[in-house]
Structure 1
Amino acid sequence: MKTEQKQSKKAGERRIQEKKRQKRSRLYTKIFYGFYALTVIALFVGFLYASRVVSDYVKAYEASQPKYAASAAAQPFYAHDYDVLSRHTDQDIFQYESRAEYEAYMEKQLAGKFISYNEVFTTDEDLKKYVVKADDQKIGDFTLRHSADHEKYGFWLWTLDSMNVEGPEASVYTVDAPSGATVLVDGKALGEEDIVVRDIPEFDLGVTLPEDAVQPSRCVYEFRRYFGVSDISVTDVHGEPCEVSVSGRRYTAAYNYDDSRLAEALEERVIRVVRRLSCYMTNDYSQYSMDKDLVKDSQAYKYVHGFDSDWIASHRSYDFLNMDVRNYVSYSEDCFSAEARYDYKITYYYSDPEIYPTAYRLFFRKTGDEWKLFDFTLI
């Protein structure tokens, strides 16, 4: 009995000791892992600090080496970064050209090309200059400047000082157009500020017009473009399109005659007067009757009165062949001119018929309700 009690007591003591041991084990485990965690955290913090120190040092070192700064400066060329490149291109380009046109141009300069940069000589020891090339074609340059010494490590610091991107050179274009016309270059109208020459006479008339009459004139526009011109159109003061011809970078808009506005109302009068004038010159129309179609004391009046019609031989008849009246020009509401071309056939009594090709520009002025001739020239 006593033996059993002793054994039971010893078993109870062992259980108590085991429980104490387990408690100590759990405590030591917690202490170990806590210390381990603190150690890991401390190492991690130390690593971060060391990394930052090393990173700062490396950055300062790299900034002190021109090759690293040069590589960073050249990246926009390698990456086709047009946001950066456009800021370092002559901004005058963007007054005339779109960003899309600029990017398309630069893409042609860079795409598929070997981009390189090389240092070139400069006398400034605080400055380094580099030329950037696409294959063998220069496309830009940049400079690095020794800006300061690193305050912590004492390294020289090199920073980007300037960058220049080679853009296309502007080409100068001219448009010779009738005064008052609307000139559109790729859909954009040129303005008064683009006119470099004004009041060029449209015609060498050789005639003195009435005071209120205005001789048609021309002007020359000049403008610049970097990426060429696709389309130039010209519309005259009446809204009619002008025919445009081109030679190199010079465009010329033809003058639109006023036939569509004047011919229907005035052609009959022009033909009547020119027939009478020709008949007068061959003694087939009287001076008295001719005077009714002339402005008194005008150049036409003086010419008719001084004309010697004795040149013509006796003839049986006359005829007007191939009469063509065109190229009307309006100088004012009361003044216009037109060209008359025709073949004047004379049938003589004693010789073969003759045909006289004739062409006049006839100038008319409105007197009262009637258009009268005040001058004419051979053409």
Structure 2
Amino acid sequence: MEKEVSRKKHRKRSRFWFGYRIYLIVLAVLLVIMWFAVWNTMKKYEAAQPDKVIDNIVNKIESGEINDLKISSSKKSKFEPDADPIAELKEKVNGRKLSYKLSTESYDSLAPIYDIMAEEEKIATVSLNSVKEYKKMAILVLSDWEISSVTLAGKAANYAATITVPENYEVTINTIPLTAEEKTGDAKVMDGFEYVAEYVTPPKSVTYKVEGLIDMPVITVNGRTVEESELDIKDGKITYNCGFDSEEIDSELRDYVLNAAKTYTNFFSKDLEGCRNSTAPIEGLFPAGSYYIQMAENYRQQDMWTYSAHQPPVFSNEEVKDYKVYSEDCFSVNVVFDKSMILKLNGQERVDHNDQVYYYVKIDGKWLIADMKENV
């Protein structure tokens, strides 16, 4: 009887230890499975970090395998052409070792921004975007990332241009026309047209300002390329002031302005019939009430008698040039000539040199002198 009881106890213990061993084996298997699951999840978590994406991009850039990256140029100004961004990036790398760091402009963990560095120089900015989030093991958040943008770091802006031209002139920088967006303030009446403004609308000038130019720009005004020697360049600041271009004057108008200039000088040398009596011989050259008529009258009354008697004048070295059209009712022209007179008193020659710019306005269909200035 005792032996039977002993055998039963032994069988119970055997079954216990057998079950215990099975339990331990199952537990070990479960632990191994759990360890592999955790290890695999941690590997996925590590791989899902944005740094890994940036590592991959940096490796591509260093190896030159960047054709599949959508790279934006470093262009700053609309007046400078886009460079080939791939070629530009390769030029920036130039065999240097690359690194990266989180940008100071990165504020969103789901859209991080990284600066790509070549030694100490920032050569590009990479923006990432989280397109999908999911949890693993209830506590780890993983993301799938896409490259939002790769933008090359801009080169330093070396030039800024301030250009003043007549209001109706077209200006281009690198073939791109300047618009109202580049204008600084309103159009201003050009200097030297005070008397013209008494009769017609005077010409105006506008000033354009363009900043952020990386390379020396090519400037054209009214279709003409401005030579670099014409520009005032100081510390990258380009200044150019342009007046009106000269045009060809037709022969009829040329003769008219030349004869008008001769007539005016003949009044002062007493070579114009009736000049001793009044200013009537020259009044048809000027608008009514002109300052120049009053000046001629003062001269007639006070100083004309002092002009030495002489033989009729002979004109030579005549030039009519720098004909500039400001509007349909205003132009200027430079008239040059020498006026030779033989003095009756001693037979000596007196030569008066005329080099004046005459400003004409059209009043009632006739061209009249509004102003005149010595050409300097």
TM-score by length of 2: 0.66
CA contact (8 A) 1:242 1:254 kept: no
Deviations 1:66-125 (A, max 9, x none): 8745523534543463775736x77x748555554444433321133232346899xx9x
Asked if 1:173 corresponds to 2:158, the answer is no
Structure 1 residues not aligned, in runs of 5+: 1-48
Asked if 1:151 corresponds to 2:136, the answer is yes
Residue aligning to 1:191: 179
Q: Which of 77, 96, 100 is the equivalent residue of 1:113? A: 96
Residue aligning to 1:14: none
Aligned-partner SS, 1:113 = coil
Larger proportion of helix = 1
Percentage of pairs with the same residue: 17
Aligned-partner SS, 2:313 = strand
Q: Which of 340, 351, 356 is the equivalent residue of 2:335? A: 340
1:330 is displaced (CA, Å) by: 3.4
CA contact (8 A) 1:185 1:232 kept: yes
Aligned-partner SS, 1:180 = coil
Q: How does 1:31-70 map to 2 (within 5 A)?
A: 56-57=40-41, 59-60=43-44, 62-63=46-47, 68=52
Aligned-partner SS, 1:196 = coil
Q: How does 1:222-241 map to 2 (within 5 A)?
A: 222-225=209-212, 227-228=214-215, 231-235=218-222, 241=224
Aligned-partner SS, 1:315 = coil
Asked if 1:376 corresponds to 2:372, the answer is yes
Query: Kindly tell me: are residues 155 and 72 of structure 1, through their superposed partners in 2, closer, same or farther at Cα, counting changes over 3 Å?
Result: farther
Q: Provide the aligned length of Structure 1 versus Structure 2.
A: 320
CA contact (8 A) 2:188 2:204 kept: yes
Asked if 1:137 corresponds to 2:132, the answer is no
Residue aligning to 1:309: 304
The amino acid of 2:96's aligned partner reads: K
Aligned-partner SS, 1:316 = coil
CA distance in 2 between partners of 1:67 and 1:275 (Å): 86
Residue aligning to 2:322: 327
Deviations 1:166-196 (A, max 9, x none): 2224453333322122222223222222212
TM-score by length of 1: 0.66
Aligned-partner SS, 2:215 = coil
Residue aligning to 2:243: 255
Query: Kindly tell me: are residues 166 and 375 of structure 1, through their superposed partners in 2, closer, same or farther at Cα, counting changes over 3 Å?
Result: closer
CA contact (8 A) 1:60 1:150 kept: no
Residue aligning to 2:21: none
1:356 is displaced (CA, Å) by: 2.7
Q: Please, what is the CA RMSD of the aligned residues?
A: 4.4
1:206 is displaced (CA, Å) by: 4.5
1:274 is displaced (CA, Å) by: 1.0
CA distance in 1 between partners of 2:294 and 2:81 (Å): 62
CA contact (8 A) 2:356 2:372 kept: yes
The amino acid of 2:243's aligned partner reads: Y
CA distance in 2 between partners of 1:257 and 1:226 (Å): 27
Residue aligning to 1:266: 253
Aligned-partner SS, 1:284 = coil
1:242 is displaced (CA, Å) by: 6.6
CA distance in 1 between partners of 2:160 and 2:68 (Å): 27
Which shows bigger deviation, 54-63 or 306-315?
A: 54-63
Q: Which has the larger radius of gyration?
A: 1
Residue aligning to 1:13: none
Deviations 1:240-291 (A, max 9, x none): 647553333526364344532x443311111111111111111111324333
Which shows bigger deviation, 176-185 or 129-138?
A: 129-138
Which shows bigger deviation, 111-120 or 331-340?
A: 111-120
Structure 2 residues not aligned, in runs of 5+: 1-32
CA distance in 1 between partners of 2:362 and 2:101 (Å): 78
CA distance in 2 between partners of 1:61 and 1:312 (Å): 106
CA distance in 2 between partners of 1:164 and 1:258 (Å): 47
CA distance in 1 between partners of 2:328 and 2:126 (Å): 65
CA contact (8 A) 1:130 1:143 kept: yes
Deviations 1:306-351 (A, max 9, x none): 1122332222342223222222233443443322122232322326
Residue aligning to 1:37: none
CA contact (8 A) 1:175 1:221 kept: yes
CA contact (8 A) 2:89 2:123 kept: no
CA distance in 2 between partners of 1:226 and 1:332 (Å): 34
The amino acid of 1:281's aligned partner reads: F
1:227 is displaced (CA, Å) by: 4.2
Which shows bigger deviation, 163-172 or 274-283?
A: 163-172
Which shows bigger deviation, 214-223 or 58-67?
A: 58-67
Query: Kindly tell me: are residues 206 and 169 of structure 1, through their superposed partners in 2, closer, same or farther at Cα, counting changes over 3 Å?
Result: same
The amino acid of 2:281's aligned partner reads: S
